Amino acid sequence: MHVLGIETTCDETATAVVALTEDGRGLIRANEVLSQIAEHAAYGGVVPEIAARAHVEVLDRLIARALDAAELGFDDLDGIAVAAGPGLIGGVLIGLVTAKTLSLVTRKPLLAINHLEAHALTARLTDGVAFPYLLLLASGGHTQLVAVRGVGDYVRLGSTIDDAIGEAFDKVAKLLGLSYPGGPEVERAAESGNPERFALPRPMLGRRTPDFSLSGLKTALRIEAERIAPLTQQDVADLCASFQAAVVDVVVDRVRVALRSFGPVAGHPTALVAAGGVAANGALRRALAQQAGEAGLPLVAPPLPLCGDNGAMIAWAGIERLRLGLVDDLTAPARPRWPFAAASPREAADAA
């Protein structure tokens, strides 16, 4: 089984071909990505109209390139998977219309994939993780702890009440004069910084539900930065290190609470899984690996190119759904907002 994956929900145009092997694992045959970072850098964030135009300009070539790299033609495909949301509507529409057209012309099934579900299932592509597992999804637009019980069966244990973690990294980077996207920049600067120089808050620490709040932390950092301005390079490094340490402390505490609430919802987890762009953060990965180890669980975090947005995760989610017969048709809508996890076990049961 081979599935083409198309991802255009944000600022990465990405395509991939993933194969399902005999033993039920995924094999990435091609994974192409064109980031628009340069086009958006001057604005310090993603400009939706620029993103949509950039997707139009490159998507057809990027699909051809993925098929070439996989040494396959459209005839060899078993399905066309596309991220149908959530995301910037202009980009989503371009990916979805392209995928629908290909599906119509090639008569291959269409798989309209939730971008967040694709992040959530990536650990099964890379490591064959079995259900159920505890997922920390931390990206530019979302921060959630989710009990992943099966394909299409997700129960949210907690989420952010304000900013996403990636968004907080991006905002901190912007206010410190670092470039976009901020996550990798803040991490790099933090390497030569002192994480104890600034006593930043750890919002939500100890709270009994595994929710997050990041906006107060970002504000506290801004106040410190303004207090000591003008900033030297060392000040920036120390601020980044202090911020990152606070985020790591918060995440570890929230994961601890989520591990406690996991059992009644989903039984015993097979793994702690980190996904989304923020899962690329080395300090966070190290802390989570230690925490998972203490809980007797493996930490599974995708290799760096599969943490951020990519086509392989869309193709893989397509395979997961296709082999269960969960295909879509040409009426599949583009969804700027599209929650992927149920708010409670009862809601999950109602949806099933």
Q: What type of residue sits at position 292?
A: A
Binding to ligand ATP, residues 281-300 (CB under 6 A): 281
Residue 242 labelled as part of a binding site = no
253 in Cβ contact with 206 (< 8 Å)? yes
Lookup: tokens for 82: 């596309």
Shortest Cβ distance from residue 24 to ligand ATP (Å)?
26
Distance CA 145, CA 150 (A): 15
Distance CA 114, CA 86 (A): 7
Shortest Cβ distance from residue 190 to Mg ion (Å)?
21
Binding to Mg ion, residues 117-136 (CB under 5 A): none
184 binds ligand ATP (CB under 6 A): yes
What SS3 class is residue 214?
A: coil
Best CA proximity match to 177, nearest among 126, 229, 124: 229
Shortest Cβ distance from residue 156 to Mg ion (Å)?
22
| Residue given tokens 């790299």 in the structure block | 69
Interaction mask 35-64, ligand ATP, x per CB under 6 A: ------------------------------
Cβ neighbours, 10 Å, residue 346: 10
Which residue stretch of 80-88, 163-171, 308-316, 328-336 sits at the interface with Fe ion (rule: CB under 5 A)? Answer: 308-316
Residue 138 labelled as part of a binding site = yes
End-to-end CA distance of the chain: 26
Max CA separation in the chain (angstroms): 63
Which residue stretch of 140-148, 193-201, 218-226, 336-344 sits at the interface with ligand ATP (rule: CB under 6 A)? Answer: 140-148
76 in Cβ contact with 91 (< 8 Å)? no
Binding to Mg ion, residues 253-312 (CB under 5 A): 309
251 binds ligand ATP (CB under 6 A): no
Q: What type of residue sits at position 27?
A: L
Annotated binding site: 115, 119, 137-141, 170, 183, 187, 281, 309
Residue numbers at the binding site for Mg ion (CB under 5 A): 10, 309
**Can you give the binding site for Fe ion, defined by CB under 5 A?**
139, 309
Point out which residues bind ligand ATP (CB under 6 A). Answer: 10, 87, 115, 119, 139-142, 166-167, 169-170, 181-184, 187, 276-278, 280-281, 308-309
